[in-house]
Amino acid sequence: MLKGGGQSRVTIVDIARAAGVSKSTVSLVLQGSPLVKPDKYDKVREAIQRLGYVYHRGAANLRRSVSDVVGLVINDLTNPFFAEMTVGLEAALQTAGLIPFLANTGESPTRQALVMRAMREHGAVGYVLCPAIGTNADDLAEVRAWGLPVTTVMRRLLADWLSSVTPDNVGGARRATEHLLWLGHRRIAFVGGRVGMVVHEERRAGWETALRQAGLPLDPALAVESTPNRDGGAVALQRVMSLADPPTAALCFNDVVAIGVIYALNGRGLAAGRDFAVVGFDDIADARLIHPPLTTVAVESRRLGEHAATILLEQLAGTAAGPQHITGDARLIVRASCGAAGAPQPKAA
């Protein structure tokens, strides 16, 4: 609200006067029209340079009743996984000539609503949304009423008007669990995350499916919730290890939780990959750098962002009929923390 454009702004009228043409001609030059004669074209360009003219896209869009801004509404940019995804998203949209409004909601549904409305008032014609924890479909009722395309990414919401891009959480968790079973484990925990988070439900479902298909009983005590961070992982591990019949392996909600688990194992004098098998999910940058390197399910964060951009672009172009859904890859990457590869560093207990 604060500020004007400085001293009186240079407009196409000024350019027209300086170049000795009408303002329509200037407008045509601005749009690269072939209708303008080269000599006038050059005069206009020269005047633009000389007067330091800057195109007022808002005015143009107002007249044409179009807009090229899209909203990117992200739950938590300080999480490297989401940051990576956002970067892929933003680059793809920018390449397509759209101008992305990017906002961080810090996992606050309230701020999310505020920000989406501000973007709308500024002409957003579509959104990519990674919803804040606790967002439900009702929170988006106002957004829905706008009738604009919205694509959720990573966190699916239960609403049929939304497009979505998610990794194959169920399949990835199933394959990871199958790998642990193949290594001979029979007591496999599922550690971390919160019931109610869609991602948690899906990954846990993959774990359950693998156990069921192996004919193993489902012990509810082996699935323990936590905050989805390192501390949560550490706490959850303590919980599960204090069971009468503790597990020998854990599939973790994500890599960050898995790293917490590895530290907690160290604290108990146990080494991941030797005394206990740990598998993560996401394949964040830290996964390969921690000791032992973390076996995990790789999710292509940047690609997920690009997929979301693709869907949004199709919706905006009107070539897509109704909401679209893309499921991204979730590939098991075997490193040392599950004990399948030889851990490179010999350690005394």
- Residues 43-62, mask of contacts with a second copy (x by CB under 8 A): ---------x-xxxxxx-xx
Applying CB under 7 A, does 108 fall inside the site for DNA?
A: no
Taking CB under 7 A as the binding criterion, the range among 57-65, 93-101, 164-172, 206-214 that sits at the site for DNA is 57-65
Applying CB under 8 A, does 6 fall inside the site for a second copy?
A: yes
By the 8 A CB rule, do 324 and 311 touch? yes
By the 8 A CB rule, do 154 and 82 touch? yes
Minimum distance, C-beta of residue 160 to a second copy, in the bound complex (Å): 19
Spatial separation of the C-alpha atoms in residues 164 and 77, rounded to whole Å: 19
By the 8 A CB rule, do 73 and 305 touch? no
For residue 210 the two structure tokens come to 């693998």
By the 8 A CB rule, do 257 and 278 touch? no
User: What Cα–Cα distance (Å) separates residue 326 from each residue in 49, 231, 304?
Assistant: 46, 32, 9
In DSSP terms, 71 is beta-bridged to 101, 127
Applying CB under 8 A, does 109 fall inside the site for a second copy?
A: no
Pick between residue 37 and residue 325 the one whose CB is nearest to DNA: 37
Applying CB under 8 A, does 322 fall inside the site for a second copy?
A: no
Residue indicated by tokens 């996401």: 282
- Residues 10-49, mask of contacts with DNA (x by CB under 7 A): -xxx-------xxxxx-xx-xx---xxx--x---------
Minimum distance, C-beta of residue 49 to DNA, in the bound complex (Å): 15
Minimum distance, C-beta of residue 264 to DNA, in the bound complex (Å): 56
Helix axes 301-317, 80-95, angle to 10 degrees: 40
Pick between residue 183 and residue 270 the one whose CB is nearest to a second copy: 270
Minimum distance, C-beta of residue 113 to DNA, in the bound complex (Å): 20
Applying CB under 8 A, does 235 fall inside the site for a second copy?
A: no
Handedness of CA 256, 258, 261, 263 (dihedral sign): negative
Q: Write out the residues near DNA by the rule CB under 7 A.
A: 8-9, 11-13, 21-25, 27-28, 30-31, 35-37, 40, 53, 55-56, 59-60, 62-65
